[in-house]
Structures are given as C-alpha cells and as structure tokens.
Amino acid sequence: MSENQTPSFHGTTILAVRKGGKVAIGGDGQVSFGPTIVKANARKVRRLGSANNVIGGFAGATADALTLFDRLEQKLEQHRGQLARACVELGKDWRTDRYLRRLDAMMLVADKDVTFLLAGTGDVLEPENGIAGIGSGGSYALAAARAFFEHEQDAEKIVRRSLDIAADICIYTNRNVTIETIDAG
C-alpha cells in the first residue's frame, strides 16, 4: 500500500443454499482493516422481520449493511412479510435515493419460498439453482457449493463445507461461521 492510500475494510464471505426442504445462509466472522484483522467474530448473518421468518447475510461496510437491513425490515412490515415485494421496493429506493446510493454493501436474503441477492445498483436477483455467494470469498464458496450440491442433501452442511473451503483460499475469510436456516416450502 502506498503512502497516499488509506487502508480499507475488506471482504467477507456469505453463501446461500436452498436444498432438501431447507434454506441456509452462512457467513464468516472476519473483519479486516488493510492487512490487520480487527475482529474475528462479527455476526453478518441474522434473522429479519417481526416473525423472524426471513434470514439474511451481508458483505460490505457494516454500518451500511445494517442500514439496509433496517430498511428491508421496514419494507417487510409495510408489505405484510412479502419478501419479493419488499426487496423490489428496497431495490428501487436503493437505486433512486441519493443517501442509499452511497451505501457500500450487498445482501443475500431468503424466506421459505425464495432467495434474493440485493446489490447497490438496485438489482434484485433470484440466484440460479438456489445458490448464491457474495463478498471477497463468495466466488470460492459458490464454486464449492455447486460441487457439493449434487452429492450432499443438507443445505446447512453444504454451506458449512463451502465456507470452510473459501477460508482456505480467501485471506479475508475465517472459520468463525454463523449459519441460519429455515424450512423451505
């Protein structure tokens, strides 16, 4: 890093897998600032909504992601727990609101029926085959999950094993993992 560059917070790994009547979202706990690990047990995956029937994980700036989680919970309440509608409305706000446009985070969210990836461009994407990864180690975890998907029946096991592989490859990913699951329809 040159003298003119300010260190920045780096990555995380969040993975969502929908299989075998379950959906699981997991993430590591590492927070890095430049070359330094500043926290090893951050909780980047949590339950959302008044009924705790939505799970979500974030990658990016923590304060920004928490702001987005709060906004998503408001949208869930406003749209009676309809995750698809809440995500689309949040995506519209994120794309058009000057304050929200500056937020630096991505989210994976799921309920019993659907999984979505939300990005700052206003994108609301439903991942192919119910598997999605975000963050610095997201591609590694996604590749591992795709490989395990055919041979492993349990979504939580796929997430756990895939995050473990991502931790072997990505220096911004650790093995302090949080996984939330819900029964899928």
Which residues are part of the catalytic machinery? 12
- Rounded Cα gap, residues 47 and 24, in angstroms: 11
What's the token pair of residue 31? 């927070």
Q: Are 73 and 48 in contact (CB under 8 A)?
A: yes
Q: Which of 100, 38, 95, 96 is nearest to 69 (CA)?
A: 100
What's the token pair of residue 178? 């949080």
E-strand stretches of the chain: 9-10, 13-19, 22-27, 31-33, 36-39, 45-48, 54-60, 105-110, 115-118, 124-125, 131-135, 178-183
The structure tokens 């998907």 sit at 149
